[in-house]
Amino acid sequence: MNIVIFGGIGVGKTTAGLHVASKVGGEFHKEIKGHYVKRFYQESKRYAFVNQVDYMGQLLFRELEISKEKINIQDRSIHDTHSVFSEMMHEDYLLTKVEFDSLKHLYETSLNETHRVDAAVLFRCDDQVAFSRVKRRGDEEEAELQFEYLSRLSRKYDEWFGGVEFPKKIFFDTTDLDRDGAGFELEKVVIGLI
């Protein structure tokens, strides 16, 4: 079983994913930190394309390594890396049409090689709450993250998730959940799926 937790930055994906994997005997695949993310936040236009190629390549490799026999819980996947992040960068003119088309081709080609998503979970929370969580955790790579970017990212996730097809789609609002609350709620859902 392959469960992917989608959502913007600071919504609780990693915390919940780690909790659920430990409770159901699954394997958690933490979000991959790209080699260029810090530079992307500093110089978005310059590093947008190479950042996306790096993320998509790492995620494709990770998904090829995932065992089909286990319960797998992923923090992000190649689906949202392209359909949310690349598309948003293209809308913001950070990616040229040629660069975006190259990423789209890479994404579409990878669909033949990746595991099916059995359940897609979108985590969403108030943008101000998510931004304060990001600042509180003090990740050096996210130090340049702007509130406006995080807010647009949340809206882009909502738009994408509303139109994408997965066998099972689940939505969680994590605004009022503490660090453990999202994990407990997701745990109930996962137990119901297995």
> DSSP characters for 48-74?
HHHHHHHHHHHHHHHHHHS-SSS-EEE
**Residue 182 — very low, low, confident or very high, per pLDDT cuts 50/70/90?**
low
31-40, 93-102, 165-174: which range is least confident on average?
31-40
Average pLDDT over residues 132-144: 84
Q: What is the pTM of this model?
A: 0.89
Q: Which two tokens stand for residue 128?
A: 């101000």
Q: Which residue matches tokens 């660069």?
A: 99
Percent over 90 (pLDDT), the chain: 53
Give the domains, in start order, of the chain with CATH numbers. 2-193 (3.40.50.300)
Per the CB < 8 A criterion, the answer to whether 189 and 22 are in contact is no
- What is the b/e burial string over 120-147, where b = at least 16 CB atoms within 10 angstroms of the residue's CB? bbbbbbebeebbebbeeeeeeebeebee
For residue 142, is pLDDT > 90? no
For residue 184, is pLDDT > 90? no
Average pLDDT over residues 159-182: 85
* R_g of the chain, CA atoms, integer Å: 16
